[in-house]
Structure 1
Amino acid sequence: MSDDFEFDHDEAYPEFRERATGTNVNEQTLLATDYLNHFNELVMTMEMLSDMPELFEEVQGWAPKPYKDHFRDSTIADKELAIDAFDHVPPKFKEPFEQNIEKINHLVEISVGRLEKDLQTGDMELVRINASTISQLIQRLLDMCSANIHGSATTMDQSEIDNLIG
């Protein structure tokens, strides 16, 4: 494995890259897709809200979870590597990843209030439309996070998010 990288990284990066080979941790970025499961569950729950409004309590109860905490609570085989490697993720990958995660967390925070108001109106079509729009937007951000995990520096502009949710 070559030590010639075209991006900034710390001294331990090559060692962690080698340790990540053949694991659930991406050997280039040192990030793991398992973290996205925390958000995928929320997306699925939101998509069911219009048919099962009682699931709103789960949406309300969802809370952001830091990357390392997710893996501390995880049962995946490479959880210790995912935790240890996170401190050595090159900024080229970590910064856009964390920006996208921040945007998801912010979107969820503002969306819960909107969905609660929609549910209070009893208009399940409005709930369906808004929950679908929000979950699709979260999914787009998750796709960007997945791209970050696999080596892309893609982010979504905050103004695009604001325009999409009105």
Structure 2
Amino acid sequence: MADHSAAAAATRQEPAGDADGAAYEAFRARVADANINSQTLLATDYLNHFNEIIMLLEMVPDMPDMIEECRAWEPKGYQDHFRDSSFSDKQLAIEAYDYVPERFRQPFEQTIGQMNELVALSLDRMADGLEDPDLLRARAVAASRALQRLIDVASAIIHGNDVALHQNEIDELMGF
């Protein structure tokens, strides 16, 4: 996963100099009528990938065999999500991602990485609690809340907030 992110970062085209570069400005104009934020060049549709796993995790306490369907869920990068989606402006979202200003891309990618780690951790913890319905439910609720908190952070970044969680907040979420 980290290797994939490093390779993607190495192949990205950066805006000329900063977020005021000509390519960035061109994409801002192109996304004006799309469901893509014109400041960050990011789309909230990507978060549906994580809403899917939250919904599945929440079903496990009532249907423990759903843990296998949860385990079948895999992290998916931003551009890969759009390649596989029916989002009306998916090609534009894919192309614009290469020009997302670093002040948004870095916290966004960090938050997505944290969500992917949290899903894996949650699945392990829930699998360990399958024999205890109350423990399983508590872990599913905790996982859902923690993931929703990270989705809220990612959504804020998509809408122009360039900060991520502090390490102590991350540790608290991961220690649920």
Same fold, TM-score > 0.5, yes or no: yes
- Indicate the residue corresponding to 2:124 in structure 1: 113
Matches within 5 A, 1:1-150: 8-9=18-19, 10-119=21-130, 122-150=131-159
| In structure 2, C-alpha distance between the alignment counterparts of 1:163 and 1:38, rounded to whole Å | 23
- Indicate the residue corresponding to 2:10 in structure 1: none
- Residues 62 and 158 (structure 1 numbering): CA distance in 2 closer, same or farther, change over 3 Å? farther
Give the letter aligned to residue 45 of structure 1.
L
- Indicate the residue corresponding to 2:169 in structure 1: 160
Runs of 4+ in 1 over 4 A off after TM superposition: none
Deviation of the 1:53 alpha carbon: 1.0
Percent of aligned pairs with the same amino acid:
51
Give the letter aligned to residue 49 of structure 2.
H
- Residues 158 and 62 (structure 1 numbering): CA distance in 2 closer, same or farther, change over 3 Å? farther
Give the letter aligned to residue 164 of structure 2.
T
Task: Give unpaired runs (5+ residues) of structure 2.
Answer: 1-16
Task: Give unpaired runs (5+ residues) of structure 1.
Answer: 1-6
Deviation of the 1:112 alpha carbon: 1.4
| In structure 2, C-alpha distance between the alignment counterparts of 1:75 and 1:67, rounded to whole Å | 14
| 1:109-135 per-position Cα deviation (integer Å, ceiling 9, x unaligned) | 22211111111xx21111110111011
SS at match of 2:142: helix
Q: Count residues in correspondence.
A: 158
Deviation of the 1:11 alpha carbon: 2.9
Q: Is the 8 A contact 1:137 1:161 kept in 2?
A: no
